[in-house]
Amino acid sequence: MAQIFHRSTNFIARFSLFSGIFLAGLALTAVLGLARSPYFTRQNVTREQPVQFSHKHHVGDDGIDCRYCHTAVESSATAGVPPTKTCMSCHSVLYNNVGYLEPVRESYRTDKSIEWVKVHRLADYVYFNHSIHVNKGVGCSTCHGRVDQMPLTFQSSTLLMEWCLDCHRGTEKVLRPLDKVYDMTWEPGPDQAELGKKFHAERNIRDTTELTSCSTCHR
Amino acid sequence: MDGMSHHDHKRDVDNHPPTAEEIQLKEYRLDLAAVRNKLAGKQGKQYWRTLEELSEDPHFTDLLHREFPRAASEWDDAVDRRDFLKLMGASLALAGMAGCGLPDQDRIVPYVKQPEGLVLGKPQYYATVMPFAGDALGLLVESHEGRPTKIEGNPEHPASLGASDVLAQASVLDLYDPDRAKVTTYMGEISTWESFQAAAQGLATSQKAVNGAGLRILTGAINSPAVAAQIENLLKLFPQAHWHQWEPAGGDGAFEGAKLAFGRPVNTVYRVEKADVILSLDADFMASGPGHIRYTKEFYRRRNLSGSGKDEMNRLYVVEPTPTVTGATADNRLPLKANDVELFARALAAKISGGSAAAPAGSDPFLEAVAADLQKHRGASLVVAGEQQSAETHALAHQLNEALGNVGSTVYYTEPVTAAPVSYRESFHDLCAAMARGKVDLLIIVGANPVYDAPHDWDFVNKLKKVGTVVHLSSHYNETSEYSHWHVPEAHFLETWGDARAFDGTYSVVQPLIAPLYRAHSAFEVLAAFSDKPGVSAYDTVRERMKTLAGAGDAEKFWRKSLNDGFVAGSAFAPISVSAKSAAALPPAKATAAIEFLFRPDPSVYDGRFANNGWLQELAKPVSKISWDNAALMSPATAEKLGVTHTIMSRGGEHGQIRSAVIEIALSNSKVTAAAWVVPGQADGVVVLPLGYGRKKAGYTGSNKGFSAYAVRASSALWNAADGKITVTSDDYPIACTQYHHNVEGRKILSTATLEEYKQNPAFAREHDETPPDGLTLYKDYRELGYYQGHKWAMAIDLTKCNGCNACVVACQSENNIPVVGKDQVMRGREMHWIRIDRYYETGLSTQQDDPKENPALANPKTYFQPVPCQQCENAPCEQVCPVGATVHSAEGLNDMVYNRCIGTRYCSNNCPYKVRRFNFLRFQDWETPSLKLLRNPEVTVRSRGVMEKCTYCVQRINNVRITAEREGEPGVGRPIRDGEIVTACEQACPSEAIVFGDANDPNSRVSKLRAQQRNYNLLGELNARPRTTYLGAVRNPHPGLAPAEKSEKKEPA
């Protein structure tokens, strides 16, 4: 019986097989890449807020400390978004009649909260605690980036689990002197690896096994 | 009653192991004669939980050979295979789409003006008290941004000492109950509080004209001085008005007994800590009644065993008709009919103070032993009479305490804690009589629910219809509200200001944690609406009282301190001096009936007021282990005589479903049908009818559950009725009894000894321990991988101290957002409690036990309780089999559960030898009801369908304490975690301090010391799972002369 397929079709078969694998790989890469893309992580995406609040102005230009507004950061899981009263403690005197601060004044007048759009949205099932990080010498800018240069706030990290684990597996990369935690301009020096190891030991920081146990963050 | 098909009850007589088909078709019917015959051939100690287990029936044994009951995973509701495939197809298609959306744009809604002292994200704790049926329990309530979420005992409050009970733990669910009444109604139509106030003033004016001749007030027991003062004020304004009190589950015995003994009402306070020998005359003093939590603490503080073998313990004798938490864990217990308890007390009084009275049949040896022991410990003994006991028993207890020189040392008397103590029966009777005469124009019912719980022979409903205007205040629109003109929603105690006196008279402040969720008002406000000062607030009244209490001191400072503490220090009543009349002065004893019908408050729903609380409904009752129902309880012998039995269903995975015979009880010219339930250890000839069920209008959760014992409760026999008739019907009724779940098939997981045995062999608990040598394992040893270097969390549970009160179970449910699954799911063995309490009976059988009829195994078995949370194994079998790494080992040795990885294979649960894993077969959690969202603990994930869960050792509490410790101390470095700083929810709630959590790496920690005791043992040590939760063998201190069976040589059955 004559062959149904010509010899040349072998090539097509091989090509299909290999390109199938290639395509599957490509698709996987695309999916993984997409999951890490800002489209999904919302990294570097600014949000429309009820008040065009500028961290650049308040932190960068005016030099207000992070903790002036985010009062709970040293003692609580959440850093805390300030109550309207904190805004009004200055803005009852400064810029007290500009139009774009009307929502703030209205909130204070009517006793209704300003509804800010959340920028840093952690994945479900995660229990992050600000206080332990700042107390152990992880600075604000390590996770939040140069907030003092953000006219509108965006999330500068991916907030993916691999990003968390990156530090939990190598704390020496990010630990800084305790007096530099709220310093936006702090950059790791060339001796960071050594310094970080020293800080890790000095501050009784738990080792990688402990820091990467599931229940450290999930419960 | 559910009238399901009639089953073939013939039992398989062959002893061959049943085939699968046979099991599919057959159920197992309990045969008490077979159980007894089996027992007759037994020797030595044996532990058992159910009568079936004892019978070793092959069908029942087959039921045990399953992790989850047969087909527990099957969906046998009305979705057939075709529908299922359709649904699956649709959900698969949608599952693909679900991944495409972007995360929601969440909002952050900060305060406008943040409250002072609040740190965002950190819970705050406020002291308050829970007033309840004349009792007041000091609490510390956790609040997250204004939402009370978790209730704990107040360590400084004398009634709590830091512990709590099931009712207090579950009361936070009552606050968020979506079925609560939400608005004031008039004639069933929505109205307003303001119109009610206006109407109240109108009614008051017309009453004023007749000096209040038509005004009646009905309340429960009032121990709030503010409310009492308000009532007194009303009685002054309306001189001819009357105040009546009715507590359906509050016995008059204590009140009448004090009048008999002392000629006046008194409040009796015990100092259990000082008592070496305690006799309880049908008193469940560790589970109910004022001060019970403190008494439990004090009692078990005398049972701290050092492990040296030289320990001494106090001794508890209990004489009672039906096993209670107190009785089940007594050192010596004698089941007697309720009336015989009084006869026993009379005989004992005669023995001690002289005179003659015959003891009930068969109780002589016990009586001799008790009398000798009490006399040996004069001044350090204690006699306690039960709330449901007769006035005579109470009077006898007073006389006995006086004769034994206990007054002033282990017991003292004060002025009554409740305002104007009365006999509830007489007080309520007076009201009914006045209503019948048509003399009542205005009836204000505060909190009570008499349409449901009045004695049936008083025909309360028809009398209520004669009342001109009925005003009803209650948390729910219930049975009584239906017959009321005005109904006002009652504010929860977490929503209102007030005050209350605790068991010893300590003045405590009820401090609200949240503004009323609905338009609810307190008793104080409703009563004030009829007074000359209708707008007066409870807050102002309490503050005024505090000013007088402060005396010359700084009133503001005093107020702040009292508010912070939750009570006024040193405000307990001073002891008063009274002397008891002699026993001869008592009225003659009544004869004991052939069959006694006893009415008892239910351990979960009490008199019915907690019926709509899902946590309490689902909670398996301490001794019977029934959830979601009540049943007519009777002893095995009585059941056999009546021909009452039950059938275990083995079809459709309904493992925990028992179809129990339905009996009709004709009593006091009324009838009720009830499911019967056999309770080993109950006195023969006693049928217990628990109150609180059969509610018609309790709400979604509580309506139409069980049967209403009030239907046959007559005013002449509120606690103990005779002359009833029981007819066994052909019906049966499904009962959800959890003691058939999670069975561990006779493996030795409980260790018990008497104090003497323990002294001879302090290592009794490890006697049959076959734990393999350390390191003999194929699993990777985490220690070699650098685990357990820092902390090594461990829990030790002292079985000597567990009395099965269930407080830990509800505390865990509240702390860890554990859902309620409902009776149907419980009957499939799907209850979700992370910690369960197993109830075991011990038979200490001797070879001389010739007559199986006299067998103590069924008539009066020793009872033990064993709480079982996740054992947090070091060689955890669950971790090895998870295909997705959803349960993994933490560096500190916890078996972490990662919900977002779990795909629901249930392999882990299958491989768990302790059966402590719980699977969300359905979406048990209510995600929609808004009020329930406020209830959740924000520190713990709310799990959804298809996810496995289990005890985490309260990892959220571990992490929070760790972070606090690392933050405090030297900046950046922190300080070590102190022993006892991390308190798990179960440990915190436990009134007997049976649970201890801590770091096993710290040799000085409490848990390390307990683990070092010889009494410490692992559950199923031979499996080499190396559990971190360990148990300390139970030691009881029975009278050496009273337990001949235990003295015989011990032989472990092979």
Chain B residues with CB-CB distance to A209 below 8 A: 785-787, 789, 891
CB within 8 Å: A215 and B122: no
Residue in the block written with tokens 């088909």: B21
* Confidence (pLDDT) at B2: 39
- B836-845 and B670-678 strand pairing: unpaired
B-facing residues of A in 148-177 (CB < 8 A) are: none
| Residue A207 contacts B where some CB pair is shorter than 8 Å | yes
Q: In whole angstroms, give the CA distance from residue B137 to residue B162.
A: 10
A-facing residues of B in 962-991 (CB < 8 A) are: 963, 966-967, 971-974
Tokens standing for residue B521: 């008002």
> Span A211-217, mean pLDDT?
93
Q: In whole angstroms, give the CA distance from residue B883 to residue A70.
A: 42
Q: B995, B1026, B1025, B996: which is closest to B1008 by C-alpha? A: B996
Q: Please report which helix (H) or strand (E) contains residue B91, including its range.
A: helix B81-98
pLDDT band at B872 (very low <50, low <70, confident <90, very high): very high
CB within 8 Å: A206 and B891: yes
Q: In whole angstroms, give the CA distance from residue B17 to residue B593.
A: 45
> Span B331-345, mean pLDDT?
93
- pLDDT tens digits along B512-548: 999 999 999 999 999 999 999 888 889 999 998 888 8
Instruction: State the best of A104, A132, A209, A217 to mutate against chain B, taking most chain B CBs within 10 Å.
Output: A209
Instruction: State the best of B901, B944, B966, B970 to mutate against chain A, taking most chain A CBs within 10 Å.
Output: B966
Q: Please report which helix (H) or strand (E) contains residue B598, including its range.
A: strand B596-600
| Residue B96 contacts A where some CB pair is shorter than 8 Å | no
Q: Is the pLDDT of residue B99 over 80?
A: no
Residue in the block written with tokens 């999951």: A35
Q: Is the pLDDT of residue B84 over 80?
A: no
In this complex, the residue of B108, B898, B972 whose CB is nearest that of residue A116 is: B108
| Residue A179 contacts B where some CB pair is shorter than 8 Å | no
Residue A91 distance to chain B (closest CA, Å): 14
- pLDDT tens digits along B255-304: 999 999 999 999 999 999 999 999 999 999 999 999 999 999 999 999 99
Side chain identity at residue B321, one-letter code:
P
CB A53 within 8 A of CB A153: yes
In this complex, the residue of A76, A84, A124 whose CB is nearest that of residue B900 is: A124
Q: Is the pLDDT of residue B1053 over 70?
A: no
CB B818 within 8 A of CB B936: no
Question: What is each CA distance from B783 to B779, B875, B889, B1007, in whole angstroms?
Answer: 11, 11, 11, 20
Residue A114 distance to chain B (closest CA, Å): 6
Q: In whole angstroms, give the CA distance from residue B690 to residue B388.
A: 12
Under 8 Å CB-to-CB from B387, ≥6 apart: which residues?
B250, B251, B253, B254, B283, B284, B288, B289
Q: Is the pLDDT of residue A21 over 70?
A: yes
* Confidence (pLDDT) at A124: 86
**How many residues can be counted in chain B?**
1054
Angle at the Cα of B88 from the Cα atoms of B83 and B91, rounded to 5 degrees: 125
* Confidence (pLDDT) at B165: 93
- pLDDT tens digits along B412-436: 999 999 998 999 999 999 999 999 9
Residue in the block written with tokens 């409050």: B157
Strand intervals (E) in B848-984: 862-868, 887-889, 895-897, 918-919, 948-949
Q: Is the pLDDT of residue B203 over 70?
A: yes
CB within 8 Å: A135 and B971: yes
* Confidence (pLDDT) at B525: 93
* Confidence (pLDDT) at B66: 55
Q: B688, B1047, B554, B1008: which is closest to B846 by C-alpha? A: B1047
Q: In whole angstroms, give the CA distance from residue B967 to residue A73.
A: 12
Task: Tell me which chain B residue has its CA closest to the CA of residue A48.
Answer: B105
CB within 8 Å: B971 and A178: yes
* Confidence (pLDDT) at B323: 94
Residue B975 distance to chain A (closest CA, Å): 9
> Span B207-217, mean pLDDT?
92
> Span B485-500, mean pLDDT?
95
Any idea what DSSP says for residue B874? S
Q: How many CB atoms lie within 10 A of CB A209?
A: 18
Chain A residues with CB-CB distance to B99 below 8 A: none
Mean pLDDT, all residues of chain A: 92
3-state helix, strand, coil in chain B (%, to 5): 30, 20, 50
The burial class, CB within 10 Å (0-12 / 13-18 / 19+), for A4 is: exposed
CB within 8 Å: A85 and B113: yes
Under 8 Å CB-to-CB from B1042, ≥6 apart: which residues?
B332, B365, B366, B369
* Confidence (pLDDT) at B828: 83
CB B270 within 8 A of CB B290: no
A-facing residues of B in 121-180 (CB < 8 A) are: 121-122
Q: Is the pLDDT of residue B738 over 80?
A: yes
Q: B295, B256, B294: which is closest to B278 by C-alpha? A: B295
CB B449 within 8 A of CB B477: no
Q: In whole angstroms, give the CA distance from residue A151 to residue B279.
A: 77
| Residue A198 contacts B where some CB pair is shorter than 8 Å | no
Under 8 Å CB-to-CB from B108, ≥6 apart: which residues?
A81, A115, A116, A117, A118
Instruction: State the best of B818, B954, B967 to mutate against chain A, taking most chain A CBs within 10 Å.
Output: B967
Any idea what DSSP says for residue B978? P
CB within 8 Å: B972 and A118: no
| Residue B116 contacts A where some CB pair is shorter than 8 Å | no
B-facing residues of A in 41-80 (CB < 8 A) are: 42, 47, 71-72, 74-78, 80
Strand intervals (E) in chain A: 116-117
The percentage of residues in chain B with a pLDDT greater than 70, rounded to a whole number, is 87
Any idea what DSSP says for residue B515? -
* Confidence (pLDDT) at B764: 87
CB B663 within 8 A of CB B728: yes
CB within 8 Å: B108 and A78: no
Q: Is the pLDDT of residue A3 over 60?
A: yes
- pTM, entire model: 0.90
pLDDT band at B850 (very low <50, low <70, confident <90, very high): very low
DSSP secondary structure, B462-490, as one string: HHHTTSSEEEEEESS--TTGGG-SEEEEB
Tokens standing for residue A100: 């774009």
Chain A residues with CB-CB distance to B954 below 8 A: none
Q: B206, B151, B192: which is closest to B935 by C-alpha? A: B151
CB B545 within 8 A of CB B226: yes
Residue in the block written with tokens 């509490």: B957
A-facing residues of B in 783-802 (CB < 8 A) are: 785-787, 789-790
| Residue B781 contacts A where some CB pair is shorter than 8 Å | no
- pLDDT tens digits along B103-151: 557 889 999 999 888 899 999 999 999 998 888 999 999 999 899 999 9
| Residue B376 contacts A where some CB pair is shorter than 8 Å | no
Chain A residues with CB-CB distance to B939 below 8 A: 127, 219
* Confidence (pLDDT) at B1020: 87
Chain B residues with CB-CB distance to A175 below 8 A: none
Chain A residues with CB-CB distance to B999 below 8 A: none
Tokens standing for residue B210: 């007749």
Q: Please report which helix (H) or strand (E) contains residue B1029, including its range.
A: strand B1029-1032
Chain A residues with CB-CB distance to B107 below 8 A: 115-118
Task: Tell me which chain A residue has its CA closest to the CA of residue B953.
Answer: A219
